[in-house]
Amino acid sequence: MKLSAPIYVLKRKARLLSREAQIPLHEALDRIAVSEGAKSWSLLSARLATVSPAVKLYPQLSPGDLVLIGARPGQGKTLLSLELAVEAMKAGNQSTFFTLEYTQIHVLDRFRAIGVDPNRFEGQFELDMSDAINADHIIEKMDDAPSGSLAVVDYLQLLDQKREHPDLMEQVRALRAFAERSGIIFAIISQIDRAYELSEKDFPDLEDVRLPNPLDLSLFSKTCFLREGEVQFRATC
């Protein structure tokens, strides 16, 4: 269920409505829930209490995995990746989010959208927004990280956007070799080609990954594709 704002913002709106309309808070909460497409606040809360796919997915990841997370825009691939990072940290591991796309404010907003206070994991989470992000940069950054750490890369198609960076195939091969050697888990976010929307497939697959440059997708040990709130997870090797 996609909300118009994080749950804490909706609660704040309800409190304000309660004061302005001079109605009980529970009635204000119900009105906010109706505006979000639920019949009542209790039903809205019940829907949000549904177990996140990341809770089920994370135990299926193994040290050394290179996981591709693919979806069309707006399907929740970044949120799922952050939820996986949270599950890793709950298990006592380190998580690093490498992004060429988002700012710190964007990432913090997405943490709040999944109901997580980043301060809870102080010392376990690191955000890297360097313009120099590529495989070499990521490997250098993660070189001392313990086995089981999780690194999110946002996103695949931007790794070789600069001419001075190695080609995409070389970079993904390097990340796969490093993952196997170090025991670090990589979750790499990927765009899906627009042509998928014209297909009749329930989920995108490796054939739908947008590849501006050649890449052997068998380098990924596992895949996770998202569509309309559902997740399809597979081991590829």
* Burial category of 187 from C-beta neighbours within 10 Å (exposed 0-12, middle 13-18, buried 19 and up): buried
Whether 160 and 221 share a structural domain: yes
| Mean of the per-residue pLDDT values of the chain | 92
Residue 44 pLDDT = 82
Q: Would you say residue 79 has pLDDT above 80? A: yes
User: Is 155 domain-assigned?
Assistant: yes
Beta-carbon contacts of 94 under 8 Å, excluding residues fewer than 6 positions away, are: 88, 124, 125, 126, 145, 146, 149, 150
- For range 81-88, the mean pLDDT: 96
CB 220 within 8 A of CB 66: yes
Does 66 lie in the same domain as 41?
A: no
DSSP 167: P
- With residue 90 as reference, give the H or E element that holds it: helix 77-90
Residues, the chain, total? 237
Q: What is the pLDDT of residue 141?
A: 97
- Do 198 and 140 share a structural domain? yes
Q: What is the pLDDT of residue 1?
A: 59
**pLDDT tier, 51 (very low <50, low <70, confident <90, very high otherwise):** low
Strand, coil or helix: 34: helix
**Residue 103: domain span:** 53-235
- The answer as to whether 77 is a domain residue is yes
- 1 in a structural domain: no
Q: Are residues 61 and 160 in the same domain?
A: yes
The answer on 185 and 69 residing in a single domain is: yes
* pTM for this predicted structure: 0.80
84 contacts 55 by C-beta, under 8 angstroms = no
Quote the number of domains for the chain: 2
More confident residue, 157 or 117: 157
State the pLDDT at residue 74.
Answer: 84
Q: 44 and 58: one domain?
A: no
Does residue 96 lie in a domain region? yes
Mean pLDDT, range 81-86, rounded to an integer: 96
Tokens, residue 121: 């994991």
Confidence of residue 50 (pLDDT cuts 50, 70, 90): low
* Residues 15 and 89 both lie in one domain: no
Render pLDDT for 187-231 as a digit per residue (tens, 0 to 9): 999 999 999 999 989 899 999 999 989 999 999 999 999 987 789
Pick the residue with more confidence: 7 or 231?
Answer: 231
**Do 27 and 121 lie in a common domain?**
no
Whether 70 is in a domain gets the answer yes
Q: Is the pLDDT of residue 18 over 80?
A: yes
User: pLDDT tens across 95-143, in order?
Assistant: 999 999 999 998 988 888 777 888 899 899 999 999 999 999 999 999 9
Same domain for 39 and 59: no
- Return all residues near 46 (Cβ < 8 A) that are at least 6 apart: none
Same domain for 105 and 29: no
95-99 and 150-154 beta bridge pairing: parallel
Top pLDDT among 47 and 74 is at: 74
Residues 26 and 61 in one domain: no
Same domain, 20 and 100: no
Contact 182, 127 (CB under 8 A): no
Stretch among 47-51, 84-88, 138-142 having the lowest mean pLDDT: 47-51
Q: How many Cα atoms are found within 13 Å in the side-chain-facing hemisphere of 166?
A: 13
Sheet-wide strand order for 150-154:
125-128, 95-99, 150-154, 185-191, 66-71, 222-227, 230-235
- Report phi then psi at 234, rounded to 5: -145, 145
Beta strand 66-71 pairing with 222-227:
parallel
Q: Measured between alpha carbons, how far is 195 from 212 in angstroms, rounded to an integer? A: 14
